[in-house]
Copies of this chain bind each other. A is one copy, B any other.
Amino acid sequence: MAGAALRVAGRQLSQHSGSGVPILLRQMFEPKSCTYTYLLGDRESREAILIDPVLETAPRDAQLVKELGLRLLYAVNTHCHADHITGSGLLRSLLPGCQSVISRLSGAQADLHIEDGDSIHFGRFKASLLLIYSPLSFPFPGCAKTLYHSVHEKIFTLPGDCLIYPAHDYRGLTVSTVEEERTLNPRLTLSCEEFVKVMDNLNLPKPQQIDFAVPANMRCGIQTPPS
């Protein structure tokens, strides 16, 4: 299975907000699955996208989109999540005109499928898909190696001060940089061989919500919240 990162034109995204800056960025947290959802908007055209919305917090996200006077074009999933149900289905009904987006490789349903290197546009900005082989694919042999090279070639070759906003974080950190991950990440600073050994022996517990989250996410989440 493959995950992805979205890359948004470097310079602007290093500026968190302030109306003098053309791009608007809001990071939001969902505590049950420790998922970060991101709202990105063009202050001029008011077109916006949401990245990795969660079902439970989709009403909050829709409210913020309305309060900020934005028009949501896309609700994007960076991967078919195993740890929560996506909010993209609910957002499509809360904010008519919004389309769900996911990578074609995920095999999940969506209004729009994109491939590695494809971009989606909102106002003067574009977000490009960087396909990365994700840990979800373990324990299939060979995947850790692919992940290692994927991150080293696609992420660590970006400028050192490029900001990395996480999809999840369990320590309460909200942002990092390419430079920090390249020099400090306890796993990614290992050699490829050592990395593969660590990843193949993680023995992680099965994600709590995987049995209902993955089937639901293959259909773009659900249209109405569970009763």
- Using a CB–CB cutoff of 8 Å, the interface residues on chain A facing chain B are 11, 14-21, 25-31, 57, 60, 64, 67-68, 160-161, 163, 171-175, 177, 179-180, 184
- A20 to B, closest residue via Cβ: B161
Could you write out 22 A-B pairs with CB less than 8 Å apart? A11-B18, A14-B21, A15-B15, A15-B16, A15-B21, A16-B17, A16-B25, A18-B161, A18-B163, A19-B161, A19-B177, A26-B173, A26-B174, A26-B175, A27-B174, A28-B173, A28-B174, A30-B172, A31-B31, A31-B172, A60-B173, A67-B180
Residues of B within 8 A of A11 (CB): 18
Kindly report which residue of chain B lies nearest to residue A37, judged by CB atoms: B172
Query: How far, in angstroms, from A11 to B25 measured CA to CA in the complex?
Result: 16
Which of B14, B68, B171 contacts A20 (CB under 8 A)?
B14
In the complex, what residues of B have CB within 8 A of residue A64's CB?
Answer: 173
- Complex: A174 Cα to B20 Cα, angstroms: 19
For the complex formed, measure the closest distance between the CB of A184 and the CB atoms of chain B, giving whole angstroms: 5
Partner of A17, one of B18, B30, B60, B163: B163
CB-nearest residue of chain B to A60: B171
Inter-chain contact A175/B31, CB cutoff 8 Å: no
Residues of B contacting A173 with CB < 8 Å?
A: 26, 28, 60, 64
Distance in angstroms between the alpha carbons of A68 and B21 in the assembled complex: 26
Complex formed: what's the CA distance from A31 to B173 in Å? 11
Establish whether residues B14 and A177, one from each chain, have CB atoms under 8 Å apart when the complex forms: no
Contact partners of A174 in chain B: CB under 8 A: 26-29, 174
Are A177 and B29 touching (Cβ within 8 A)? no
A57 touches B172 (CB 8 A): yes
Q: How far is the CA of A160 from the CA of B26 in the complex (A)?
A: 17
- Cβ-closest 6 pairs across A and B: A14-B18, A16-B16, A19-B161, A29-B172, A15-B15, A18-B161
